[in-house]
Amino acid sequence: MKVIAQQQCGTAQWDCNNGQCISANARCDGMTDCQDGSDETAENCIQGYATCHAFGFKCAYGACVADGYRCNGRKDCADNSDELVCDDKKLDKLQGNCSSGTDFECSQSNECISKGNMCNGIKDCADGSDETLQLCVGFDCPDGAFHCGYGACISGTAKCNGVRDCADGSDEAWELCGYPRPVNKATSSLSDTRDENKCQLPENYPHLVARLHPQNETIPLGAWVGNYEIVHLECSNGYRIMTDDSLNCQNGKWTAEFPTCAEYCDGLSLLGLSTFYVCINNFMAARQCTRVQPNTEVIVGCNVGYEGFGNTSPLIRCTSDGKFTAKRPTCNVECGVLRQSTPLTKEGFQLQRNEVPWQVAIYRKPDKTNYKFVCGGSIISPSVIVTAAHCFWDVAVQEKMNADVFQVAAGKYYRDYDTAKDPTAQISDIAEIAISPSFQYGKDKILEDIAVVKLKTPFVFNENISAVCLRFDARANSYVPNDWAGTIVGYGDTDTEYKRIQRVPMKSLSFHSCQLRQQANLADDKFCLQNEDSATVCRGDSGGGFVIQNAVTKRHELLGVISYTRFSNAECVREGILTATNVNYMSDEVVKKMEQFKQEDKALF
């Protein structure tokens, strides 16, 4: 019988469809904790699909698990969708005996249907094999579409329209659409009439679940069981039993005291950009444990690209009430440090990806299919980039372009957008572009040519992606003299087969020396750079940073942003002068935005 769900459990709990109470945090976490499995179904979880954490993995039915669990050979989503997405060539195997390359053979009925009809919510195969989790999981739905609980894609406007457009009906799930929740009303066939030869289960033991032996039938707390019956006990999700897990009723009395449930600590609360953690229980270590048992010790360490703990890693412990003895500590960005990594080899040249781990490539995507490389930039925080303002300036209308036509890639070794060449690259859309209101764009003079960009998704630091230090001294009093040695980054000639990243050695020319050298009227926030050898700088390399190594700290510091050069009619310059914007002349408005963006990043550390 279907009825409207009545709240029977506590405020921090969730009612399973069968009436069992589990921790509210246990719902839709990838692990089945309700005996009827209702805490891990699309009916009760699909609304969470769009709100998983930035570094979480979305199970097909809506649950959220840690991103590191994807394709680890273990079932971490209740529907195993974290492992089913790993076969990226499954669609190549679907033609079967169908003559047309655009057709798909149904697995049992052997019909041929168009591949365009796969995973669209409608069962076109008589056996329904075109709308299954195994086939549809991992489908990349277009913007605005709705993901069904098994991975299929339907129109976003079809969601919650009163019609089941997904084959599993997940587009009409109760919480997703704001409907009353339908559940199966839990009933007990056990008598609650007192009898001297029966034993009563206690009512005031939160999180305890009892099952009658040997039927394995769940018994509600407060119910009576017959003499000499055995009851198996366990705890609901988020908790663990600390003593006896079975009791026997003898002559109307239980053979022992009922155990209490100790609460697990939530390992997901230890996730952050800047840290990792290791759980140690009974001298056994586990990396990134989701449910942390009471009395487990947790060692917290800094991820690659972060620092702050020194030689001593903080130690916290999970207590029996499900809380850690201390708040998870965080680390700070470790800027300007190069790390050793395995070199790559191509065309006989040894390539090192991590020589400039802070360098990013900025692409413009006018039609979402043709990504054009437009500028470089430098990472100063996981989602904060410093680059040139003119990279985002529409000269024709003299205004800033929309952020949504750009993407930023880190760990890009090749200039072309093609990620197949750079499988470890990370790509993010831009959320906001901060440019000084005093920015001016002229043919030979660009004022305030510096921008700070906030990304929608932060980069995950590793040995090939990390931040550069920002040499932010006394602001406008920081004068760049002649002959400071440093490097910029270029991607090579436009007509070469492999437009690969390369470090170009440069030396600084002071504002006055450059003005005399070029016989031009430079903006006050500029200094210049001159090639140290025959290395090439080309169009699109602007926005990248001029980086020097601090003689004392040995860390690499961003001193300036490439603004422009006189290319004449050539795409690249081999002997010439580059103009750079001094980062210490960043306007107050841009500095304020930069600090805001960095603080927003720290909230994720």
Say if 6 falls within a structural domain: no
**Residue where a domain stops, chosen among 262, 293, 310:** 262
Could you read off the pLDDT of 506-531 as tens digits, one per residue? 888 888 888 777 656 778 888 888 87
- Asked whether residue 287 falls in the same domain as residue 379, the answer is no
More confident residue, 14 or 567: 14
State which of 212, 234, 262 marks the end of a domain.
262
Residue 13 resides in a domain: no
pLDDT tens digits along 453-473: 999 999 999 888 999 998 776
- Residue 590 carries which DSSP code? H
- Choice between 354 and 556, residue whose per-residue pLDDT is larger: 556
Inter-residue contact 488 to 537 (CB < 8 Å): yes
524 and 431 within one domain: yes
Short-list 302, 316, 297, CA closest to 273: 302
Give pairs for 297-301: CB < 8 Å, separation 24+: 298/270, 298/324, 300/270, 300/275, 300/276, 300/328, 300/329, 301/275, 301/276, 301/277
Q: What is the CATH number of the domain that holds 279?
A: 2.10.70.10
Cβ-based neighbours of 468, under 8 Å, separated by 6 or more: 335, 336, 358, 378, 379, 380, 545, 547, 556, 557, 558
Q: Which domain holds residue 76?
A: 20-83
Q: What's the pLDDT score for residue 232?
A: 86
470 CB neighbour count, 10 Å cutoff = 22
The 10s digit of each residue's pLDDT in 60-84 is: 999 988 877 788 888 889 999 988 8
**135 inside domain:** no
Structure tokens at 9: 């459990």
Distance CA 459, CA 304 (A): 12
User: pTM score, two decimals?
Assistant: 0.58
Say whether both 477 and 537 belong to one domain. yes
SS3 assignment, position 404: helix
Q: What is the mean pLDDT of residues 241-259?
A: 77
CA distance 94 to 136: 12
**Residue holding tokens 């550069």?**
468
Residues 415 and 510 in one domain: yes
Is the same domain home to 217 and 278?
no
Task: Say yes or no: 533 and 433 in one domain.
Answer: yes
* 225 and 249 share one domain: yes
Q: Average model confidence (pLDDT) for the chain?
A: 80
Of 262, 285, 302, the residue at which a domain comes to its end is 262
- Does 180 fall in a domain? no
Q: Same structural domain for residues 225 and 284?
A: no
| Opening angle at CA 91, ends 86 and 96, nearest 5 | 130
Report pLDDT for 188: 37
Tell me the HSE value of 208 on the side-chain side, using a 13 A CA sphere.
25
- In terms of domains, do 452 and 325 share one? no
Tens digit of pLDDT for each residue in 206-222? 778 888 887 778 888 88
CA torsion 27→31→35→37, rounded to 10°?
70
Number of domains, the chain = 4
| Of 488, 481, 458, the residue nearest 561 (C-alpha) | 488
Contacts of 284 (CB under 8 A, 6+ apart): none
In a domain, 351, yes or no: no
Contact 65, 59 (CB under 8 A): yes
Tell me the average pLDDT across 272-277.
88
Please give the average per-residue pLDDT across 255-283, as a whole number.
80
Buried b (16+ CB within 10 A) or exposed e, 337-371: bbeeeeeeeeeeeeebbbebbbbbbbbbeeeeeeb
| pLDDT for the residue 444 | 63
Q: Which of 86-95, 326-335, 343-352, 443-452 has the lowest mean pLDDT?
A: 343-352
Q: How confident is the model at residue 2 (pLDDT cuts 50, 70, 90)?
A: very low
Does 513 lie in the same domain as 461? yes
Kindly state whether residues 418 and 408 are assigned to the same domain. Answer: yes
For residue 40, what pLDDT is reported?
92
What's 501's domain CATH number? 2.40.10.120
Percentage of the chain exceeding pLDDT 70 = 83
The CA-based diameter of the chain, rounded to the nearest angstrom, is 107
Q: Is residue 296 part of a domain?
A: yes
pLDDT class for 246, splitting at 50, 70, 90?
Answer: confident
Residue 21 pLDDT: 83
CATH of the domain at 76: 4.10.400.10
Task: Supply the DSSP symbol for 465.
Answer: B
Q: No. of H helices and E strands in the chain? A: 6, 48
Sign of the Cα pseudo-torsion (389, 394, 400, 405, in order): negative
CB 98 within 8 A of CB 110: no
Does residue 227 sit within a domain? yes
CA 16 – CA 168 distance, rounded (Å): 20
156 lies in some domain = no
Task: Judge if 243 and 283 occupy the same domain.
Answer: no
Query: Rounded to the nearest 5°, which phi and psi values hold at 55?
Result: -110, 35
Nearest 5°: the CA angle 567, 573, 574 is 155
Q: Taking a C-beta distance cutoff of 8 angstroms, is the pair 147, 159 a contact?
A: no
